[in-house]
Amino acid sequence: MAATVAVCVREGTRRAPAFWQMRLLALLLVVAATATEQQVPLVLWSSDRDLWAPATDTHEGHITSDLQLSTYLDPALELGPRNVLLFLQDKLSIEDFTAYGGVFGNKQDSTFSNLENALDLAPSSLVLPAVDWYAVSTLTTYLQEKLGASPLHVDLATLRELKLNASLPALLLIRLPYTASSGLMAPREVLTGNDEIIGQVLSMLKSEDVPYTAALTAVRPSRVARDVAMVAGGLGRQLLQKQPVSPVVHAPVSYNDTAPRILFWAQNFSVKYGERWEDLTPMTFGVQQLNLTGSFWNESVARLSLTYEQLFGTTVTFKFILANRFYPVSARHWFTMEHLEIHSNGSVVYFNASQITGPSIYSFHCQSRPST
């Protein structure tokens, strides 16, 4: 299991028992200040023709909902190529294209030259300036269900090893590694680095003549920041200001049998019942006597079980169920977090979390990770 786990859970088909019935139950792992009213852009393009009609309702201020997004995606997934690429960036806003794109036709000055070239040459393309954050957060699961293919997290090296087939569905997730917080890198340099990766991936697909549909979006919106050079003059004043307090880094939960098998870490681990929040972070991380009864691990399946006494007046157990499977298309084993279970008073609530996945050598267990 990855040392840092971010889970976006949704309620399963089973009706929740009375203890967990509520308008909003939020289980936050690696909490970010992300709200449902936030929007990110979504850029779509395909090697097939006539997959999208112009988006007539994407006027200024319009936010594309999850239902509206499905009406755009369904034709491409049902009629278009079976190979789907999802480029996922840490932060992106439509204003970034305005600030760092080629203005007044000056393509040489554009930070998004590869993306713009792909859109110019693509037989089908669609740009949605503002998509509801919830719709984007469930996009991987939606694509997985429509294609009937488990997502594969790939990088350039892995992609070179894949043998894509035009008739077999494949969902490839490509996390763009650069973020707006990459040290002292200017935003333009960050976005340029991501654009170069997009260009290399598309060149690889073109050389193999692989039909595809691609999407670019982000985990959360960005704010158009000024380049570091533009704010250098203000550094002296900033140095006189009070330095921010470094966040506390908690020790991970470690489940061991003959060796460390599962590491679980979160910046914040909280649960809400009714109008009451309970912060489980200090009760979970760095705690010597944490109740891990029911946890186990083997080569194909694992379970991390965390039990808390007197949580909201009763005993509550959280069970993270993980699986390890071999996928021929990538010739690798991949880890998947199947679901989350919450046990209380003899009742169980299930939450789907199958969009959490990655190569097993990095994520299923930590046996092969070097000591640091």
Between 117 and 179, where is the model more confident? 117
Residue 23 has pLDDT above 90, yes or no: no
Between 331 and 270, where is the model more confident? 270
Residue 357 lies in a domain: yes
Residue 246 lies in a domain: no
Q: Are 301 and 323 in contact (CB under 8 A)?
A: yes
Domain-ending residue, one of 173, 197, 220: 220
Strands (E) located in the chain: 10-11, 28-29, 39-46, 83-91, 124-132, 151-153, 170-175, 213-220, 253-256, 260-264, 269-273, 276-279, 296-297, 301-311, 314-327, 332-344, 347-352, 357-359
Q: Distance between alpha carbon 69 and the CA centroid of its chain, in Å? A: 18
Q: Are residues 214 and 271 in the same domain?
A: no
Q: Are residues 168 and 293 in the same domain?
A: no
Please state the rounded mean pLDDT for residues 136-143. Answer: 89
Residue 187 lies in a domain: yes
Residue 119 phi, psi (nearest 5): -70, -40
Q: Are 330 and 314 in contact (CB under 8 A)?
A: no
Residue 318 has pLDDT above 90, yes or no: yes
Q: Are residues 24 and 61 in the same domain?
A: no
Residue 1 has pLDDT above 70, yes or no: no
Q: Are 45 and 198 in contact (CB under 8 A)?
A: no
Q: In this structure, how many other beta carbons lie within 10 angstroms of the beta carbon of residue 245?
A: 6
Distances from the Cα of 292 to the Cαs of 178, 193, 254, 312, in angstroms? 36, 42, 9, 19
d(CA 176, CA 191) in angstroms, rounded, equals 10
Mean pLDDT estimate for the chain: 76
Residue 320 has pLDDT above 90, yes or no: yes
Q: Are 330 and 152 in contact (CB under 8 A)?
A: yes
d(CA 76, CA 187) in angstroms, rounded, equals 32
Model pLDDT, residue 67: 87
**Taking the model in full, what pTM does it have?**
0.54
% of the chain surpassing 90 pLDDT: 27
Name beta bridge partners: 86: 173, 215
Q: Are residues 115 and 184 in the same domain?
A: yes
Residue 207 lies in a domain: yes
Q: Which residue from 339, 343, 342, 320 is spatially nearest to 266, judged by alpha carbons?
A: 320
d(CA 263, CA 7) in angstroms, rounded, equals 15
Q: Are residues 20 and 121 in the same domain?
A: no
Q: Are 39 and 221 in contact (CB under 8 A)?
A: yes
User: Based on the number of CB atoms within 10 Å of its own CB, is 329 exposed (0-12), middle (13-18) or buried (19 or more)?
Assistant: middle
Q: Are residues 50 and 199 in the same domain?
A: yes
Residue 372 lies in a domain: no
Residue 54 has pLDDT above 80, yes or no: no
User: Helices 66-79 and 139-147 meet at what angle, rounded to 10?
Assistant: 30
- pLDDT for 55-87, tens place per residue? 655 555 688 888 889 889 998 899 899 999 999
Q: Are residues 211 and 308 in the same domain?
A: no
Residues 6+ apart with CB under 8 A from 350: 11, 12, 14, 339, 340, 341
Domain-ending residue, one of 195, 220, 245: 220
Counting the structural domains of the chain, the total is 2
d(CA 363, CA 313) in angstroms, rounded, equals 34
Residue 235 lies in a domain: no
Residues 6+ apart with CB under 8 A from 231: none
d(CA 2, CA 159) in angstroms, rounded, equals 21
Model pLDDT, residue 371: 33
Q: Are residues 98 and 156 in the same domain?
A: yes
Residue 248 lies in a domain: no
% of the chain surpassing 70 pLDDT: 72
Q: Are residues 287 and 214 in the same domain?
A: no
Domain-ending residue, one of 220, 246, 276: 220
Q: Are residues 207 and 291 in the same domain?
A: no
Least confident of 10-19, 243-252, 289-298: 10-19
User: Helices 187-207 and 113-121 meet at what angle, rounded to 10?
Assistant: 40
Q: Are residues 211 and 350 in the same domain?
A: no
Residue 215 lies in a domain: yes
Model pLDDT, residue 246: 57
Residue 9 has pLDDT above 80, yes or no: no
Q: Are residues 216 and 271 in the same domain?
A: no
For residue 320, what are the domain limits?
A: 10-32+256-363
Q: Which DSSP string do the residues of 334-350 spell out, in sequence order?
A: EEEEEEEEEEETTEEEE
